[in-house]
């Protein structure tokens, strides 16, 4: 059921202000409120969320790890909300409409579901129709003729289309803790070949490993290939083998739940990029909902990527 506290933008604005001041009293002064009222509203927000936003044990308020993650997530959304309210005040009308998006299954699983859900918090009248396409399909001629946006992992220059990079995610190797305990450690690309491997079929051309100036070829034999990265992450979490090239956004949730751990941590894989295509006519329209959504995708990607990085780490990081 909807939670009135979580849906209250003023509560989130207060949280951002308290985080900036690191003081209930200073934030209360800025909002012309009593400090006890501010403290109570933050407590209500924490109760609704189910975790603490601030550590209040010291003389200065300190954000908890959950609080820092919440701040990174909500601050850009509030900024977009303010811009939306400004549009309303200035009489800028953004049409109610459905966004029809063609996207790969991998991009849908790694990022798009988060983006559409959060976008609707700010634009509740927007609906989405999302279809899955396969690489090689002829789809560009559909832009502007029923399809609004196409998102894929490959870049294709076309002077008749608007092209924009909207996401850039790290790829990692992951396995279940039980598999690592039984067959590990897996410290180099060659070590991976001791167990069954899986990969997203669309990433096979970009599975070369790098560690500093050292380069190693990726595996050539896989027990499981599919275009669904979430399926492969669950396959690895079940102890079936190692998923080579798992998008960090998909790995992060399962690592946080201790269903997966990262292996071959000192070696990096090429980044997974998401490229969005739209018609030039829409891109030149300053009031286009399509451009607004692409702006949102790009901003949200930075937050999601940072959150994933705190869980997954980067090449060379200790886990």
**Confidence at residue 230, expressed as pLDDT on a 0 to 100 scale:** 87
**Confidence at residue 277, expressed as pLDDT on a 0 to 100 scale:** 87
Q: Residue 229 in 3-state DSSP?
A: helix
**Confidence at residue 92, expressed as pLDDT on a 0 to 100 scale:** 59
For residues 200 and 77, the model is more confident at 200
- How many angstroms separate the CA atoms of 199 and 23, rounded? 48
Strand segments, DSSP code E, in the chain are 54-55, 62-63, 98-103, 127-132, 149-152, 161-169, 171-175, 197-200, 209-211, 214-216, 224-226, 242-247, 261-263, 272-279
Count of all residues that appear for the chain in the document: 319
Average pLDDT over residues 265-286: 81
**Confidence at residue 191, expressed as pLDDT on a 0 to 100 scale:** 93
pTM: 0.60
Most confident listed range (137-146, 180-189, 247-256): 180-189
For residues 127 and 89, the model is more confident at 127
- Provide the CA 248 distance to its chain's centre, in angstroms: 9
* DSSP conformational letter for 278: E
The pLDDT of residue 80 is above 70: no
**Confidence at residue 138, expressed as pLDDT on a 0 to 100 scale:** 59
The pLDDT of residue 91 is above 80: no
- How many angstroms separate the CA atoms of 12 and 16, rounded? 6
- How many angstroms separate the CA atoms of 261 and 253, rounded? 11
**Confidence at residue 88, expressed as pLDDT on a 0 to 100 scale:** 73
* DSSP conformational letter for 93: P
Nearest partner of 112 among 259, 260, 250, judged by Cα: 250
> pLDDT tens, 299-317?
877 776 565 556 556 544 4
């Amino acid at each position: 059921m909807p939670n009135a506290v979580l849906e209250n933008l003023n509560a989130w604005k207060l949280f951002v202000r308290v985080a900036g001041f690191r003081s209930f009293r200073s934030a209360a002064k800025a909002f012309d409120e009593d400090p006890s009222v501010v403290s109570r509203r933050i407590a209500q927000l924490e109760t609704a969320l189910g975790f603490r936003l601030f550590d209040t044990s010291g003389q200065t308020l300190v954000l908890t790890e959950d609080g820092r993650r919440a701040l990174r997530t909500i601050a850009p959304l509030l900024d977009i909300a303010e811009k939306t309210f400004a549009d309303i005040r200035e009489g800028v009308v953004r049409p109610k409409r459905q966004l029809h998006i063609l996207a790969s299954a991998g991009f849908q699983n790694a990022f798009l579901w988060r983006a559409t859900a959060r976008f609707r918090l700010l634009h509740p009248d927007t609906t989405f129709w999302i279809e899955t396409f396969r690489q090689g399909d002829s789809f560009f001629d559909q832009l502007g003729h029923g399809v609004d946006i196409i998102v894929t992992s490959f870049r294709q220059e076309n002077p008749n289309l608007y092209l924009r990079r909207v996401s850039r995610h790290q790829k990692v190797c992951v396995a279940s803790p039980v598999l690592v305990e039984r067959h590990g450690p897996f410290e180099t690309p060659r070590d991976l070949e001791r167990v069954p491997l899986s990969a997203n079929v669309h990433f096979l051309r970009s599975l070369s490993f790098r560690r500093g100036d050292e380069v190693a070829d990726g595996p050539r034999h896989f027990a499981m290939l599919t275009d669904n990265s979430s399926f492969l992450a669950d396959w690895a979490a079940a102890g079936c083998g190692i998923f080579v090239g798992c998008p960090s956004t998909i790995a992060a949730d399962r690592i946080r739940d201790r269903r997966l751990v990262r292996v071959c941590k000192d070696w990096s894989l090429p980044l997974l990029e998401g490229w969005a295509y739209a018609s030039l006519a829409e891109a030149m329209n300053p009031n286009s909902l399509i451009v607004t959504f692409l702006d949102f995708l790009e901003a949200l990607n930075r937050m999601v990527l940072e959150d994933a990085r705190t869980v997954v780490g980067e090449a060379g990081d200790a886990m």
